[in-house]
Amino acid sequence: QSYLEEIQQAAYENRKMLAVLIDPDKFDDTKASQFIQKLPENATHIFVGGSTVEKGRTCEVVSIVKNYCGLPIILFPGDHSQISSHADALLFLSLISGRNPEFLIEQQVRSVEKIRNTNLEIIPTGYILIDGGKETSVQKVSNTIPLAQNNIQQIVNTALAGQYSGKKLIYLEAGSGAKFSISSEIIQAVKTALDIPVIVGGGVRSIQQLQLAYDAGADLVVIGTAFENDDFHS
Ligand code: 1GP
């Protein structure tokens, strides 16, 4: 079974998934084993990526994490330089909420030479940036305007356009460190419209928020900042 098939199967059976996001630039190698030990029991995936990462750093972090942890490591790259053959799979992201060709196709084309010489599983993913109440680095780096949380129709239409163009997953992103995470109303509307699994991330800081996202229909939730700062609490 591929990593995508595992996600599809879990979503189909309503087994909720949790990814811990590691930003390679903020990862402390000397504390790798403690970090891994602290992972919540219900974590199912490690995502690795960030908006801006020093060249070569993603590879180092993936190799270190792999030594300590048996969870699948999935790249969540901010740009083509963040591709490491040591990971298991790659979210091949298109920022479909934006209209910047750089993140719709340019970075993807530039990543091909690197990807085709690896065994990485490629997972076509529609990435939708939604307003999280503050300007996040993904917004700055991608130079795109997030969709407003109250524009639910546009969010649903964007997600469906992603599905129709062959994306296998849709990622609803409020941005790392967002003030507000994606509302239950949005998650529910997107999940109801789509046949493919829905990932939700950005600003999820507590077990209650995590549960709300699951209850609304998120299949996989991504948590980064709260684990980094050790303040994920119930
Ligand atoms: C960012 O969705 C992820 O891409 C996680 O966001 O750092 O706010 O948890 P946080």
Tell me the C-alpha distance between 183 and 114, whole Å. Answer: 37
Looking at ligand 1, which atom is closest to the CA of residue 225?
Answer: 7
Enter the ipTM: 0.97
Give residue-wise pLDDT tens across range 213-231. Answer: 999 999 999 999 999 888 7
3 known member of a binding site: no
Euclidean distance between CA atoms 44 and 207, whole angstroms: 16
Half-sphere exposure of 225 (CA within 13 A, CB side): 15
69 lines ligand 1 (CB under 6 A): no
In a domain, 142, yes or no: yes
**H or E element, residue 228:** helix 225-228
Q: Distance from the CA of 218 to the center of ligand 1, in angstroms?
A: 15
183 a known binding residue? no
Q: Please report whether residue 216 resides in a domain.
A: yes
Q: What are the tens digits of pLDDT across the range 125-180?
A: 999 999 999 999 999 999 999 999 999 999 999 999 999 999 999 999 999 999 99
Whether residue 204 lies inside any domain: the answer is: yes
Residue 233 lies in a domain: no
Q: Establish whether residue 91 lines the binding site of ligand 1, counting it when its CB lies within 6 angstroms of any ligand atom.
A: no
The answer to whether residue 59 is domain-embedded is yes
| 79 falls within a domain | yes
**Residue 140: CATH number of its domain:** 3.20.20.390
Q: Confirm or reject: Cβ of 178 under 6 Å from ligand 1.
A: yes
- Per-residue DSSP letter, 102: I
Report the distance separating Cα 209 and Cα 18, nearest Å.
13
Which atom of ligand 1 approaches the CA of 132 most closely?
A: 8
217 a known binding residue? Answer: no
Looking at the structure of the chain, the number of domains it has is: 1
Question: CA–CA separation, 221 vs 123, rounded Å?
Answer: 17
User: pTM of whole model > 0.95?
Assistant: yes
Q: What angle in degrees, to the nearest 10, is found between the helix axes of 184-193 and 207-216?
A: 30
In a domain, 95, yes or no: yes
Query: Domain span at residue 23?
Result: 3-228
Domain assignment present for residue 234? The answer is no
133 Cα: distance to centroid of ligand 1 (angstroms):
13
CA distance 1 to 5: 6
Q: Is the pLDDT of residue 33 over 90?
A: yes
